[in-house]
Amino acid sequence: MEILPSIALYTGIDFARSILESKMEIGDPYVIDMFKRLQPAPATKETKVCPVVATVSEIVLSREAASFEDICEKSLKRSWQLCMPNFGPSLRLQYLDQREGDQMIIGMEPIVCSDQEPRIFLLECRNKKLRIRSECGCKKYFWPGFKKFVFILPSSGPN
């Protein structure tokens, strides 16, 4: 388990433009679809959250794979919170020192895209490029034990 520095949740910005202007990559067209489906919110007072990163094995206390539903349920039992829809792109814009080959899946309520599939965000560094892409957000989709998920710590700190 790793606790990342607090980040600001961005609202009221064009995530696609901001990511591309920051020389980052958008990994697939569903990400743009997801951005369009985020609830449009005006710029508001900055909200900070504290992300926690843990492997599936650490979350479910097993070396085996676990379903997305089980991962989220076990995280909530630890008092971790699901990430807001704007968390993934906000973290991508602020987490600039992600290691090559590293991937972090955002533990969030899936966004149903134009193909009617639920999707979640995944942040990665591939070929020395920071990228945001989409992944399957189906409740029964299984993730191997080594995959890393990001959730939000309660405002009181680590649990």
| Residue pair 157/78 in contact by the 8 Å Cβ criterion | no
pTM of the model: 0.92
The domains of the chain are located at: 24-38+49-152
Residue 127 burial (10 A CB sphere; 0-12, 13-18, 19+): exposed
- Give kind and range of the element (H or E) at residue 3: strand 2-3
pLDDT, tens digit (0-9, with 9 covering 90-100), for 103-156: 999 999 999 999 999 999 999 999 999 999 999 999 999 999 999 999 999 974
- CB-CB neighbours of 56 under 10 Å: 25
Whether 56 has a pLDDT exceeding 70, the answer reads: yes
- What does the pLDDT look like over 17-40, one tens digit per residue? 999 999 999 999 999 999 998 865
- What's the average model confidence in pLDDT over 67-88? 96
Give the range among 6-15, 43-52, 95-104, 132-141 with minimum mean pLDDT. 43-52
**E strands, the chain, where?**
2-3, 7-9, 25-26, 47-49, 51-55, 66-67, 103-106, 111-112, 118-126, 129-136, 142-143, 148-152
pLDDT of residue 11: 80
Q: Are 48 and 91 in contact (CB under 8 A)?
A: no
Contact 133, 124 (CB under 8 A): yes
| Mean confidence (pLDDT) of the chain | 91
**Could you tell me if residue 79 is left (phi over 0), alpha (psi between -120 and 50 degrees) or otherwise beta?**
left
- Confidence at 64, pLDDT banded by 50, 70, 90: confident
CB 7 within 8 A of CB 93: no
Mean predicted confidence (pLDDT) in 78-86? 95
As beta bridge partners, residue 147 has: none
Residue 92 neighbours by CB distance under 10 Å:
29
